[in-house]
Amino acid sequence: MKLLEIQAKKLLTLHSIPVPPNGGSIRKPGDLPAALKRCGAAPWVLKVQVHAGGRGKAGGIKIAKSAAEAKNLVSEMLGMKLVTPQTGPAGVMVHELMVEKPAKISKEFYLSVVLDRKSGRAALIASAEGGMDIEQVAESTPGKIIRMPIESFGRLEDFQARDLLFRLGLVDADPKKSKARAVFFKNVVKAFFALDAQMLEINPLALTPNGELLALDAKVTIDDNALFRHPELAEFDDPKNLTFSEREARKAGISYISLAGSIGCMVNGAGLAMATMDILKLHGGAPANFLDVGGSANVDQVSSAFKIILSDKQVKAVFVNIFGGIMKCDVIAQGVVEAVKKIKLSVPLVVRLEGNRKAEGEKILKESGLPIASVSGFSDAAKKAVELAK
């Protein structure tokens, strides 16, 4: 579960990680006066709350120097479509803003804790080159990126915190300030583990003129598989922050992630789904989504999955790739046939069935009389889907 900045900052505060004072969220113009009152005197920063980076460059962060200016900005920003490199050309609709006090900044840094899948443990990543252009720093000068493995589960060791201060140039002549900064880093790591996070990013991390560290922006992604341990996070689950397809997939109990390609994918099993996306790329295509119907899907779920894929207007072909183990190929075939009949399919469809009840599934497809390309080989089926999507 991805959290909005305002949600992430609320959690950081609970873990003793300083953030700028804020007046809460604004979801309609009438929320503004109370939010400004909670925030304090002008000026204020108004930030759109969406699950995407690059908001500042896209016009999603504005400064208001008066209540009248803030009112105009709220009217302008609520309901706007924000387009950033992370949203793609379609952009995302803005339903919520956050108002907070601007911070005085002496220097900006980058800080995150992530799951390092290569080493199988958490890693702290930091850089003295923080701010909006951290991606460029990582690409052009990777030596400026500090990567520190978290060896001890759930905590940053004292020697690691000291090393981090030294490498970031944050050792202060006042030992109390140095200690406070070390505690900041240790609290970030503690929060990452306490929240069962997959990522906790602070960018920029600001050093203020009085020598304190402040989280100016924050992104947190919680492991969905651990949400049962965090009932307190239920309030952050807002369906409006999901796309139509993501909302429908959640209702149907289907794992779905929208991508930017043109070939819709329906697969059973996450591993096969990723392999399917890889082989499409290998043959010159691009997947429009990750969709795993799971190992025990029924006809209704398969039909729902098909509708979700086809709700994406960028889809030019659909590739159904099923290995029948627990999942029966004839169930998939029946779901495909029902969905195609209801939706009146207007794009090419390639289906590959292998395994449990394969023959029965292929018979259902053949006898349906629908224009479905049934291909046996994995590579051949992928090539066919790429060819038909052009």
> What DSSP assignment string belongs to 269-300?
SHHHHHHHHHHHHHTT--BSEEEE--SS--HH
CB 288 within 8 A of CB 258: yes
Among 184, 172, 175, 179, residue whose Cα is nearest residue 209: 172
- Residue intervals of the chain classified under CATH 3.40.50.261 are 242-389
The two structure tokens encoding residue 35: 């939010």
Instruction: Give the span between the Cα atoms of 341 and 324, in whole angstroms.
Output: 23
Residue 331: is its pLDDT beyond 90? no
Q: Which two tokens stand for residue 354?
A: 């292998």
Confidence band, pLDDT 50/70/90 cuts, at residue 53: confident
**Is the pLDDT at 141 greater than 80, yes or no?**
no
Whether the ω angle into residue 43 lies within 30 degrees of 0, i.e. cis, is yes
- Does the structure show a pLDDT above 80 at 193? yes
Residue 328 banded pLDDT, cuts 50, 70, 90: confident
For the chain, give every residue range classified as CATH 3.30.470.20.
Answer: 107-236
pLDDT per residue as tens digits for the range 233-288? 988 887 766 778 888 888 888 899 989 899 999 999 899 999 999 999 999 999 99
Q: What residue spans of the chain are helical by DSSP H?
A: 5-14, 32-39, 67-77, 134-140, 158-168, 175-194, 244-252, 270-282, 299-310, 329-343, 358-367, 378-389
CA within 13 Å, CB half, 207: 22
- 343, 349, 350, 356 alpha-carbon torsion, rounded to 10°: 10
Q: How does pLDDT run across 308-320, given as a tens digit for each residue? A: 998 888 999 999 9
Q: How many residues does the chain have?
A: 390
- Ranges 13-27, 79-93, 375-389: which has the least confidence: 79-93
The closest of 138, 135, 151, 62 to 100, measured between CA atoms, is 62
The class (CATH top level) of 242-389 is alpha beta
Most distant CA atoms of the chain, gap in Å: 80
Q: How many CA atoms lie less than 13 Å away from 213 in the CB half-sphere?
A: 31
Per-residue pLDDT band for 132 (boundaries 50, 70, 90) equals low
Q: Answer whether the bond into residue 89 is a cis peptide, omega within 30°.
A: no
Which of the four pLDDT bands, split at 50, 70 and 90, describes residue 224?
A: confident
Mind telling me the catalytic residues? 110, 201
Distance CA 88, CA 286 (A): 15
**Arithmetic mean of pLDDT, 215-226:** 94
Looking at the predicted structure, is the pLDDT value of residue 299 above 80? Answer: no
Give me the mean pLDDT over the 329-334 stretch: 88
CATH number of 107-236: 3.30.470.20
What phi, psi does 152 have (nearest 5°)? -90, 120
- Position 89 scores a pLDDT of 82
pLDDT at 165 over 90: yes
pLDDT of residue 241: 65
**Fold of domain 21-100:** Dna Ligase; domain 1 (3.30.1490)
Give how far Cα 198 sits from Cα of 124, 183, 220, 236, 388, Å: 12, 21, 8, 16, 37
- CATH 3.30.1490.20 in the chain, residues? 21-100
Does 303 score more than 90 pLDDT? no
Asked whether the predicted pLDDT for residue 133 surpasses 70, the reply is no
